[in-house]
Structure 1
Amino acid sequence: MSEVAGSGLWQKSLWESVLDSYSKPTVEQLSLAWQDQYGANVTLMLWCVWLQRENICLSKDVLQDVVATIKEVEDATLWPLRRARAALYDLSVITRVQQQLVKKQVLAAELSIEKILVHKLQDVTQKYIEVMRDVEAPLQLEDYLQSLAMPNAAMCAQEYLALAE
């Protein structure tokens, strides 16, 4: 693998990979659909895509810890912001322009938190590479989708990976 500033472990940072993949309309639509239908975490799905693209071979045992870490941060920050943004549409005491202004600011805060989570995932990945490496059966998107009890997880993972390219 070629060296990248500060990592030497991957060709593209997780943040760059997330932006590339999520910018594809089909990836965004499918991500949000799976989030609504199965409780999938978009950031974790895109992290798994990145792991596979970069041939980062982590043990499947890291998944539970990573999910718990991300969930803790999201429960304390992202979900309250998303609920507040959704509640804006029910407020009749502020104008549509005011709603849009606040919505834009809340979305910016959400993006900042998501970026922090992505950088945390990359840092955790670097730490786990040293102690939780598994070249034989590495963690993949399919494993994450199976942990959500998603039907046809293998097929769904293949579809998602192809769309994210």
Structure 2
Amino acid sequence: MSLWDWALEAYSRIGVADACLALQDEHGQNTSYLLWAVWAEGPDAAALAEGRDLAMRWDETALKPLREVRRALKPALAGVGDRAREGLREDVKAAELRAERVLMDSLEAICGNQSGGQPALAALQAASSAWASRPGDEALARLAGALS
């Protein structure tokens, strides 16, 4: 199963979305990168570093700017009709989702069908350690638990 298809299925599980958003918003993690690490069952250190560098560049180039615009469009804006604003917000949301898919497709290409054989928590710990900031194990365990 492709990373994208796996991530869509995983994200629909109870608790996964909340755990991912907490890791993203409270700990500065990239959830696509974390999910990739779990999907790949713990890529080796070189693949983690390559994936981290790619995800960090894509975060700054596409994901963070799109997320900021989407969030800024959520409240009403004087002089702009709600229907028009909400329609644009949906367009930006679709672009943000597309940017997530581009990143996941690119991450998948790094390790192909190789599997590191690690359980979810170990894969998340390794990936988050490679990231700029590392959340506590409790936040990672929450996501690992929701994924299993």
Task: Give the TM-score normalised by structure 1.
Answer: 0.74
1:9-41 deviations in whole A, cap 9, x for unaligned?
xxx211111001111241001110111111011
101, 121, 146: which one aligns with 2:107: 121
| Closer, same or farther: CA 96–134 of 1 in aligned 2, 3 Å | closer
> Larger deviation: 28-37 or 71-80?
71-80
For structure 2, the 5+ residue unaligned runs are none
Coordinate RMSD, CA, aligned: 2.4
The CA deviation at 1:134 is: 6.5
CA distance in 2, matches of 1:28, 1:135: 24
Q: Give the partner amino acid of 1:58.
A: P
Matched, 1:141 2:101: no
| Closer, same or farther: CA 134–21 of 1 in aligned 2, 3 Å | closer
Q: Give the partner amino acid of 2:82.
A: R
> Larger deviation: 57-66 or 103-112?
57-66
Highest relative contact order (Cα 8 Å, sep 6+), 1 or 2?
2
For structure 1, the 5+ residue unaligned runs are 1-11
Counterpart of 1:38 in structure 2 is 27
Matched, 1:27 2:16: yes
Counterpart of 1:85 in structure 2 is 70
Counterpart of 1:9 in structure 2 is none
Local SS of the residue matching 1:140: helix
The CA deviation at 1:86 is: 2.2
Count of paired positions = 142
Q: Give the partner amino acid of 1:111.
A: L
Local SS of the residue matching 1:91: coil
Task: Give the TM-score normalised by structure 2.
Answer: 0.82
CA distance in 2, matches of 1:62, 1:149: 18
Counterpart of 2:144 in structure 1 is 161
Q: Give the partner amino acid of 2:124.
A: L
CA distance in 1, matches of 2:134, 2:63: 24
Q: Share of identical aligned residues, percent?
A: 25
1:83-104 deviations in whole A, cap 9, x for unaligned?
2222223631211111110111
CA distance in 2, matches of 1:146, 1:58: 13
CA distance in 1, matches of 2:90, 2:62: 16
